[in-house]
Amino acid sequence: MVTLNETHDPKLQSWVTSANDDTTGFPIQNLPFAVFRRAGSNEAFRPGVAIGDQVLDLPALADAKVFNGQAAEALEACRDTALNGLMALGQTHWSALRLALSRALSTGAAAQTRIAPLLVPQAEVEYNTPARIGDYTDFYISLHHATAIGKQFRPDNPLLPNYKWVPIGYHGRASSLGVNQSFPRPMGQMKPATEGGTPDFGPCKRLDYELELGIYVGTGNAQGTRIGIDDAESHVFGLGILNDWSARDLQAWEYQPLGPFLAKNFASTLSPWIVTLEALAPFRTAFDRGADEPQPMPYLNSTNNVKEGALDVALEVLITTTQSRKTDAAPASLSKSNFRHAYWNVAQLITHHTVNGCNLQPGDLLGTGTLSGPEASQAGSILELTKGGKTPIDLPWGEKRVFLEDGDQIILRAECRKAGYPRIGFGQSAGTVLAARE
Catalytic site positions: 145
Which of 91, 66, 70, 78 shows the shortest CA–CA distance to 34?
78
Q: What is the DSSP string of 248-278?
A: HHHHHHH-TTT--STTTTT-EEEPS-BEETT
The string over 151-179, giving b where at least 16 C-beta atoms fall within 10 Å of a residue's C-beta and e elsewhere, is beeeeeeeeeeebbeebbbbebbbebbbb
C-alpha of 287 from chain center: 20
Complete DSSP assignment for 352-381: HHHTT-PPP-TT-EEE------SSGGG-SS
Cα atoms found within 13 Å of the Cα of residue 403, Cβ hemisphere only: 15
The single-letter code of the amino acid at 6 is E
Please list the residues that pair with 46 across neighbouring strands: 36
Peptide bond into 27 cis (omega under 30): no
By CB atoms closer than 10 A (0-12, 13-18, 19+), residue 11 is exposed
Put residue 102 in one of left, alpha, beta given phi > 0 → left and psi -120 to 50 → alpha: alpha
Angle between helices 91-105 and 69-76 (to 10 degrees): 100
